Amino acid sequence: MNRIEFTLIVGFLILLLAAPASAQALASLDIIIVDRRSDSIDRGEVRILNPDGNVLERRSIPNGNSTHFANLAAGEKTIEIESPGFELFVRRIFLKTGSNKFKAALEIQKIEANVEIELPEIDRRLRALSGILSREEIDSLPDDPREIKKELKRRFGNDISIRIDGFAGGQIPPKNLIRSIQVNSSSFDAEFHALGSANVNVNTKASIPGMLGMVTVKYGNSALNARNALAREKLPKEDIDFTGFLTGPIAKGASFLASYNKSSRSQKHNILARTELAPESLSGVSKTNNRNFSGTFSRDIGEGHTIRVSYQSSASKITNAGVGGLR
């Protein structure tokens, strides 16, 4: 046997031995693609990558949910699955020689969105817990302070607690002296002691361009009243109510406000008293007098801040309160 024949025989034997080894190193892969509910997915692309990140094979996901890859080298591979509406699926696997099966469950793609909701102006002012009346709403209030109080009660409830510059018991100023009106219906806050009612704080201005005042006198009597059917005569009754205020500047950024209110109510009563000798008819007049005075000094001490000193005096006198009879 010469050298050439020997070389050919050795080469042939090497080929015979290498062919089975090469066949054993090949692998196939079947990938089943579903979502988290195990429903099939029929759109997208499947990619097989080597450990270096290079794409070896790519397939479109067929109508069925199974994708087949053949003649793949055994070893470590990376699977990438991309489908519309789902998150990118990436998984590192190891292919053994021969047939391999893998099931991929794709996650639904997360949707990120920013939604900005802006309430209309009227909704922002009428929120349940708190709000500030706009300048237009304040200008639409009545001129009479007593009518302003009625309007506030109509809007926010008859049991509201009204404070003037943070203090209860004060008289509501005229409309053009009101800087702002704040409403807080959250009566459970620590700063409020009365539960179940709204708190209305009226803030007044300190800078006033000129002197301003108002006087109101109300008078009423029983001249046009009808006689009580059970009474022998019509009993006189008289009501007098006086209200006035004066405000104006003292210096730049400083002002004063003085208000006075006096009311008088009188009512005559007839009393039929039975004594030991004979019935006796008596008469009496019950009177109620109320007086209220308040004074305030205001001084601006910066943008949006005001210092105030207030004084208030009230008096009430009732005479013949126990006198009764037909009215």
Query: Does residue 193 carry a pLDDT above 70?
Result: no
| Cα–Cα distances in angstroms (integers) from residue 35 to residues 60, 107, 108, 133, 302, in the given order | 17, 6, 8, 55, 65
The pLDDT-based confidence of 6 (bands split at 50, 70, 90) is: low
| Residue 233 dihedral angles phi and psi, to the nearest 5° | -140, 160
311: amino acid identity, one letter: Y
27 contact partners, CB below 8 Å, separation of at least 6: 72, 73, 74, 95, 96, 97, 98, 99, 100
Dihedral, CA of residue 7, residue 8, residue 9 and residue 10, to nearest 10: 50
| Residue 78 pLDDT > 90 | yes
Do the beta carbons of residue 171 and residue 145 sit within 8 Å? yes
What superfamily does domain 22-106 belong to in CATH?
Answer: Immunoglobulins (2.60.40.10)
Question: Is 90 exceeded by the pLDDT of residue 80?
Answer: yes
Confidence of residue 273 (pLDDT cuts 50, 70, 90): low
Query: Whose CA is closest to 267, among 281, 286, 284?
Result: 286
Helix (H, G, I), strand (E, B) or coil at 104: strand
Domain ranges of the chain: 22-106, 121-204, 212-319
Q: Is-above-0.75 flag for pTM?
A: no
Tens-digit pLDDT profile for residues 284-315:
678 899 999 988 888 877 655 778 888 889 99
Backbone angles phi, psi at 124, to 5 degrees: -65, -30
DSSP per-residue letters across 31-86: EEEEETT--B--SSEEEEE-TTS-EEEEEE--SSSEEEEEEEESEEEEEEEE-TTB
Task: Please report the pLDDT score of residue 128 as a whole number.
Answer: 44
Mean pLDDT computed over 218-230: 81
| Dist. CA 238–CA 242, nearest whole Å | 14
